[in-house]
């Protein structure tokens, strides 16, 4: 049994480099030294005893020369010494010397100094020998009437522990403490006394509470907390008592102490499902979140609100409180805001959506005025996404939201503007009645757009949805305004007359690696001309983008102009106007092509963009019905199909969530009897106080596989061979931040093994917490040794070591058995997670560690291989199911996971089925893993390699 499992009251830091003193020098210091020397010697004795030394010869010396001293430091040290020193002989009888100690403590219990009395009473709580306590009982009882509250409250604790461990020493303790409680005035004494009655005699505690139930709100917070605990326990054991105490819990919701309010709200929810009770508890939680300054507290209480929302009957009550919940948005912390918005979005209904949208619009406008906070941009993104979701679910709201959000298309933060653009694109496709409004607003802000990506998106929307003659002409006007005077090349040369040299040196720029949406690479090379830079403030936006060498926007412009021209031809009957518009569109494309081929831009136009613009010119020159159909109908159909698929996926995920929450009971389901229910089935019936205590101590059981015994056996690692003198095997239990090794050691010899020690060392980001203590094993005996290992990050770790022992009676050196290595699996720390495509690409670009794994497997089906990788790496596939369905001979998918330490892991699977090798040919390809830390990337790669080998067997 390790020290971690023993009940430990005293922790003392020991300097590891100090030399242990001899018993003789300690004895001299304790007998003849000054007070300071005796203090230091006593400290050394305590440390040595904690390290396993016995020192029996010093016991009488301490009783004779140290115990009578009145120095307070010595008295405090003696309390520690008597707590840890062995008090019995090997056969279990009390040492004779302890009678002298007992007499000394009887005197201390009658000492005039209240500190000495109180600390002695605290020490008595730790004694486990009834023979020592029996003579002290009258003195302990007398301390209940001491004038000082410190002595009285410790006397209550001493009586409680003695009554719990040795009831025969003080059989009338509950009655004694009840009488004490009735007359006591001090809050801490009353709290300790009441706590004792709860655990020792609940009926007496209830009797006392009944007499003062109307005064509970006037009590101190420490007593109120204990009263909440009692009410919970009583009502948990006997539900018929609820009506008696529920009014008291309601009163405690108004307590001045946040801790009492929190506990009272939690208790109220477990005691009653009435809408008024749930509303009162939720209101209390919301007040706590708003008033508490600590963000961790806010997040914990928000989690409680989310738990309430997950209960089907409570959700409707919380819907009425959405506006109160939104008050939490005043908190500057992004995580709190994120959870609040998600909760509000889950609770939104047709009754409150209008108010919700008004609040969110105000918040969006506020973010426009506040720029100093670093999370403002991210918060704005969250607000935009929330408004987007509201508008999709409640189309009536879109008309109110769109004008406010359109202003943010000109935002310098590209991510927030991209979210707005995505929302506008979906709104204009779904809501026909809003198209004129959106196009009008889009034309208003078009010239102010600052980023090229948003500009491209805005061009596409205008080209796709402008259907009237006026709108088409307005778009053309805006494009000409944004492009400046044409032809561009001549205009630029005129501006730079005298500065530009005709033959500039043209140099090849280094190849640039781009990442596509699938996470795969595209290499883009470019030519750039070296020439003097000039001021570009006066350039219109589109010309500025083209002069910077960004000709992808030119390809987008060409497509937009083609769509507009084809639509204009179909609307306007006048041939002259038709030809004029088409000619203007073609002129713009030609002048852009000319600019791209010249040496003026920083980077010349790419071949892809040239092909696209040339294609658009050809389409406009021919105006065939087929091309008209492709440009004006097929593009929109593709968008519509994509939005429909996305909506179906969202509905499917929402349906799964609601199915999880709705508990359906079938007619033939077995009836559950509480008395016959197994412990693991009593989810709602478990004592919440007990559960929270277990969670704090780290004893919560993780959900194992269907058969818990089988899953436990799967984690047993054999450390030595069956023919070794000592057989050892370890069960590896992984908690969140630490690993517990439960090692079974079996003596397979006929000798007694002394000082049998498990020596461990670690490799990787693991740290051994303590050295396991030595054991003595009888012939063919066995024992369990536990060792704790702390984990700091997500990477594969190795624990290795040996077992050393002495054979009883043998003169040989120590024997050693080397143990097999224990490999700590990274999968215990990795959990599937999800992120948006934009976030994935951003992380992919930022993370510097990449591990490329070659696919080597006998699996012949692409989808089967992907599922095998997902199962073995615990990652989540971000690529939609629709994109992976069908068979085309290759597959690309993005995977994502997050560790319990908050580290992200990305993977891109690019695999193909070599059809030319026949139907039984295995899958080939690569998997790229990216992570912020090297250990994570390497460990995941090793895991994939290992799982591939297993698949080969």
- Express each pLDDT in 377-426 by its tens digit: 778 778 878 887 887 777 777 777 777 777 777 766 677 777 778 878 77
**Concatenated DSSP letters for 258-327?**
HHHHHHHHHHHHHH---HHHHHHHHHHHHHHHHH---HHHHHHHHHHHHHHHHSHHHHHHHHTTHHHHGG
DSSP structural state of residue 923? P
Asked if pLDDT for residue 525 goes beyond 70, the answer is no
Q: For domain 714-824, give the CATH number.
A: 2.60.40.1480
Q: Which residue do the tokens 């720390």 mark?
A: 829
Strand pairing report for 797-807 and 775-777? unpaired
CA distance 49 to 414: 66
Global pTM exceeds 0.75: no
Inform me whether the pLDDT recorded for 944 exceeds 70.
yes
Tokens read off for 145: 């009437």
Please report, rounded to a whole number, the percentage of residues in the chain having pLDDT higher than 70: 80
C-alpha to C-alpha distances, 366 to 413, 797, 808, nearest whole angstrom: 16, 49, 80
Are β-strands 753-763 and 830-832 bridged in parallel, bridged antiparallel, or unpaired? unpaired
Q: Return the pLDDT at 500.
A: 40
Quickly count: other Cβ atoms within 10 Å of residue 376's Cβ: 19
pLDDT at 531: 44
For 688-732, write each residue's pLDDT tens digit: 556 665 555 555 444 443 444 455 677 788 889 888 889 999 988
SS3 742: strand
The answer to whether domain 828-947 has CATH 3.30.310.10 is: yes
The pLDDT value given to residue 492: 67
Question: Which candidate, 306, 287, 228, places its Cα nearest to that of 260?
Answer: 228
Q: What is the mean pLDDT of residues 531-554?
A: 67
Distance, C-alpha 789 to centroid of its chain: 22
Q: 187-200 and 149-165 helices cross at what angle (nearest 10)?
A: 10
| Reported confidence tier of residue 453, pLDDT bands at 50, 70, 90 | confident
What pLDDT score was predicted for residue 10?
A: 59
Confidence check: pLDDT of 768 > 70: yes
Mean pLDDT in the chain? 77
Q: What is the dihedral of CA 358, 363, 368, 371, to 10 degrees?
A: 180
Q: C-alpha distances in angstroms, 565 versus 635, 636, 637?
A: 16, 17, 20
For residue 496, what pLDDT band results from cuts at 50, 70 and 90?
A: low
């Amino acid at each position: 049994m390790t020290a971690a499992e023993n009940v430990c009251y005293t922790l003392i830091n020991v300097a590891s480099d100090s030399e242990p003193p001899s018993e003789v020098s300690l004895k001299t210091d304790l007998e003849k030294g000054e007070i300071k020397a005796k203090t230091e010697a006593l400290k050394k004795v305590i440390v040595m005893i904690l390290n396993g030394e016995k020192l029996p010869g010093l016991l009488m010396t301490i009783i004779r020369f140290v115990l009578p001293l009145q120095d307070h430091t010595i008295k405090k040290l003696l309390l520690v010494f008597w707590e840890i020193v062995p008090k019995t002989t090997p056969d279990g009888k009390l040492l004779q010397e302890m009678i002298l100690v007992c007499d000394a403590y009887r005197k201390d219990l009658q000492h005039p100094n209240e500190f000495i009395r109180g600390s002695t009473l605290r020490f008595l709580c730790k004694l486990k020998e009834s023979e020592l306590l029996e003579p002290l009982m009258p003195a302990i009882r007398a301390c209940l009437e001491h004038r000082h509250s410190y002595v009285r409250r410790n006397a209550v604790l001493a009586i409680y522990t003695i009554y719990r461990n040795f009831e025969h020493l003080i059989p009338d303790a509950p009655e004694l403490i009840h009488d004490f409680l009735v007359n006591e005035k001090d809050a801490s004494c009353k709290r300790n006394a009441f706590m004792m009655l709860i655990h020792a005699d609940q009926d007496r505690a209830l009797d006392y509470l009944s007499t003062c139930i109307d005064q509970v709100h006037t009590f101190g917070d420490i007593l109120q907390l204990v009263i909440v605990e009692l009410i919970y326990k009583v009502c948990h054991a006997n539900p018929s008592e609820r009506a008696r105490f529920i009014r008291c819990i309601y009163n405690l919701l108004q307590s001045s102490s946040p801790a009492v309010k929190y506990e009272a709200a939690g208790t109220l929810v477990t005691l009653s499902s009435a809408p008024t009770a749930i509303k009162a508890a939720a209101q209390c939680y919301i007040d706590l979140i708003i008033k508490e300054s600590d963000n961790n507290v806010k997040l914990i209480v928000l989690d409680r609100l989310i738990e309430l929302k997950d209960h089907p009957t409570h959700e409707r009550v919380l819907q009425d409180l959405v506006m109160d919940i939104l008050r939490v948005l005043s908190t500057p912390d992004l995580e709190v805001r994120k959870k609040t918005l998600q909760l509000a979005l889950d609770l939104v209904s047709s009754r409150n959506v209008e108010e919700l949208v008004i609040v969110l619009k105000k918040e969006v406008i506020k973010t426009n005025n506040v720029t100093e906070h670093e999370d403002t941009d991210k918060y704005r993104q969250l607000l935009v996404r929330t408004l987007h979701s509201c508008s999709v679910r409640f189309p009536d709201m879109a008309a109110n939201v769109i004008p406010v959000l359109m202003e943010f298309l000109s935002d310098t933060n590209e991510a927030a503007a991209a979210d707005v653009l995505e929302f506008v694109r979906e709104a204009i496709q779904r809501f026909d009645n809003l198209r004129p409004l959106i196009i009008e607003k889009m034309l208003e802000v078009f010239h102010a757009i600052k980023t090229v990506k948003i500009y491209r998106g805005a061009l596409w929307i205008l080209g796709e949805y402008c259907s009237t003659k006026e709108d088409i002409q307005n778009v053309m006007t805006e494009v000409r305004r944004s492009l400046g005077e044409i032809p561009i090349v001549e205009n630029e040369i005129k501006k730079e007359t005298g500065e530009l040299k005709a033959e500039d040196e043209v140099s090849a720029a280094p190849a640039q690696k781009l990442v596509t949406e699938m996470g795969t690479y595209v290499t883009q090379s470019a030519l750039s001309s070296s020439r003097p830079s000039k001021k570009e403030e006066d350039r219109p936006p589109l010309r500025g983008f083209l002069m910077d060498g960004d000709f992808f926007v030119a390809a987008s412009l060409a497509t937009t102009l083609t769509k507009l021209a084809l639509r204009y031809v179909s609307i306007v009957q006048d041939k002259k106007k038709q030809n004029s518009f088409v000619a203007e569109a073609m002129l713009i494309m030609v002048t852009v092509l000319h600019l791209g081929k010249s040496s003026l831009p920083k980077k010349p136009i790419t071949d892809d963009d040239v092909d696209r613009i040339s294609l658009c010119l050809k389409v406009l020159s021919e105006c065939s019905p087929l091309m008209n159909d492709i440009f004006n109908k097929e593009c929109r159909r593709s968008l519509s199909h994509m939005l429909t698929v996305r909506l179906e996926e969202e509905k499917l995920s929402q349906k799964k969530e609601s199915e999880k929450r709705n508990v359906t009971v079938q007619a033939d389901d077995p009836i559950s009897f509480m008395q016959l229910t197994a412990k693991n089935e009593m989810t709602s019936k478990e004592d919440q106080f007990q559960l929270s205590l277990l969670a704090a101590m780290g004893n919560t059981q993780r959900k194992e596989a269907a058969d818990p015994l089988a899953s436990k056996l799967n984690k047993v690692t054999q450390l030595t061979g069956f023919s070794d003198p000592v057989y050892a095997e370890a069960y590896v239990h992984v908690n969140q931040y630490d690993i517990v090794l439960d090692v079974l050691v079996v003596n397979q010899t006929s000798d007694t093994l002394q000082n049998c020690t498990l020596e461990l060392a670690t490799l990787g980001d693991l740290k051994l917490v303590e050295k396991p203590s030595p054991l003595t094993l009888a012939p063919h005996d066995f024992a369990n040794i536990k060792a704790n290992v702390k984990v700091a990050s997500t990477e594969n770790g190795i624990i290795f070591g040996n077992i050393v022992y002495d054979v009883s009676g043998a003169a040989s050196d120590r024997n050693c058995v080397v143990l097999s290595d224990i490999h700590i699996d990274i999968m215990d720390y990795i959990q599937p997670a999800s992120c948006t495509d934009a976030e994935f690409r951003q992380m992919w670009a930022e993370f510097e560690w990449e591990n490329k794994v070659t696919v080597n497997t006998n699996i012949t089906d692409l989808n089967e291989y992907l599922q095998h990788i997902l199962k073995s790496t615990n990652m989540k596939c971000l690529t939609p199911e629709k994109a992976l369905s069908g068979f085309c001979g290759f597959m690309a998918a993005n995977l994502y996971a997050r560790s319990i330490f908050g580290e992200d892991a990305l993977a891109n699977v690019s695999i193909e089925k070599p059809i030319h090798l026949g139907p039984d040919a295995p899958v080939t390809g690569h998997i790229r893993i990216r992570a912020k830390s090297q250990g994570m990337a390497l460990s995941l790669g090793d895991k994939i390699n290992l799982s591939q080998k297993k698949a080969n067997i």
